[in-house]
A = this chain, B = another copy of it.
Amino acid sequence: MFFISKKGGIFMNYETVNQALDAMHHLEETAAAYEHVMGVTYLDAASAAPKGSYEGRGKTIGVMSQIIYDLIANPENEELLSYLEENISELSAIDRRKVEALRKEYDQINKIPAEEYAAYEVLLNEAQAVWEQAKNNNDFASFAPYLEKIVAFNRKKAAYFHPEMQPYDALLNEYEEGLTMQTLDAFFAQLREVIVPLVAKIGQAAPVDDSFLKQNYPIDKQRLFSDYLMEVMGLDRNYCAIAESEHPFTINFNNKDVRITTHYHEDMVASSMYSVIHEGGHALYELGCGDEYNYSFLSGGVSMGIHESQSRFYENIIGRSLSFVKLIYPKLQELFPEQLGSVTAEQFYRAVNKAEPSLIRTEADDLTYTLHVMVRYEIEKQLIDGTLCVENVPAEWNRLYKEYLGVDVPNDTLGCLQDSHWSGGTIGYFPSYALGSAYGPQLLAVMEQEVGSVDKLIEEGNLSIVTRWLKEKIHRHASFHKPGYLFEMVCGKFDAAYYTDYLVKKYTDLYNL
């Protein structure tokens, strides 16, 4: 069989399981090839492409989305799936999971009308360009019509996929299977109970000086520092490249081709530094996936929550530890002698951990970070259940920032236009960041039972032992295990107390509370 064109609508009757498996594997490879070229096109658009090029890209995305839709929604896949499901007992564990994955995708995509699917992809391409402009010009009004359409599509999608669920639960489910508002409401309440009093206490403590982070740090030197950080993290540059984009992200094509991006701010050295470490954590996950999952329905990281658990583990538990700062500090001082020559590693460590209610999520410290996520969670819930209309997003955003973080938002560029998620069509993703953050300390506890003190490993320059452990336990499985199962397999039942304990200990020590 070759792709859908060759079978030409005449349904094929599979005679053997191997024949059907060949057909499925061919479909996987074809889907992976489309995903690859569309991924490269996305990366190009976000990094290298000239700003005015979105129109032609929109046409291409429109055409390709339709073809990709047809590839999966193709009724012949029903025949293939039915045959394989009937013979499921003869399949290997991996092929069984692949059948499950294709079944889910097939059922879902068939619930979205083809023209809605392609129109949405075209909308997102345009929304990305409009959002970038809107953010630069502090012009929410120009982005609002796009956000409205994106919200409308997501509400529809929720109803198409899971009419039995509350719409926002259906969206959460896309990024973390089984996650619900009920779980999150309780989880966030538990976090707030610990975080809010901690933040208040810190407000009374002696302030941390982080002014030296905000000097002029030439971008060409920051680029060299990114290269160094990637080296320290053990990211093999033969398989992992770095680019620059408005908003940092990671994209993977297979386990030998992963890209991270960062954004340099001349007056904030810690911004790109922690973006690189964060995205580097995502990249290690993708690079660590088993070869056997490449170009298949089970390729790549399994869920956003697990993914964020890896990236935020590297960013915060590793990257914001004193031992890590000490490890990389000689290089930092070498690159920025004027800026940091008279600043000690300890001072730097305290500065990058300064806990302070602020405006920008990606720049937030580990402690207040979750409060930023909660703002977005509350807004998304309301947008999707219809109690908040798009034009009121800025006001609600500002109100919640005041309530949760106690800060006044001066404009939408520093407010509700700061993130690229909504313009990228992702609603229901933000909670994964909080979940991923909370997974980290529990992972650490299990890891340390097996490899000893992680601080000590970092001090000894043995970060690779940490990565190897994560690869063994998490990365190599790619999308074979479902996320909840995978986490429990490694750590036992999820318990947010690991996270709150970690926060309390870290900030009590830092601020001598």
Contact = CB atoms under 8 A, between A and B. Distances in A.
A51 interface: yes
A33 interface: yes
B2 A66 contact: yes
A294 B60 CA distance: 12
Contacts of A48: 43, 47-48, 241, 243, 259
A56 B238 contact: no
A479 to B, nearest CB: 17
B237 A70 contact: no
Interface in A120-156: none
A149 B48 CA distance: 33
| Number of identical protomers | 2
Interface string A458-471: 00000000000000
Given A33-B64, A259-B48, A56 B295 contact: yes
A319 to B, nearest CB: 22
A239 B8 contact: no
Contacts of A237: 50
Interface residues of A, number: 53
A17 to B, nearest CB: 23
A58 to B, nearest CB: 11
A9 interface: yes
Nearest to A30: B63
Contact of A70 (B3, B29, B57): B3
Given A3-B70, A51-B238, A52-B238, A60 B37 contact: yes
Contacts of A74: 5
A29 B122 CA distance: 15
Interface in A1-42: 2-6, 8-10, 29-30, 32-33, 36-38, 40-41
Interface stretch (A170-178, A249-257, A440-448): A249-257
A50 B5 contact: no
A66 B3 contact: yes
A477 to B, nearest CB: 19
Interface of A: 2-6, 8-10, 29-30, 32-33, 36-38, 40-41, 43-44, 47-53, 55-57, 59-60, 62-64, 66-67, 70, 74, 220, 236-241, 243, 253-254, 256-257, 259, 294-295
17 contacts: A3-B5, A3-B67, A8-B10, A9-B9, A30-B67, A33-B63, A36-B56, A37-B37, A37-B64, A40-B41, A43-B48, A44-B44, A49-B241, A50-B259, A52-B238, A53-B239, A60-B253
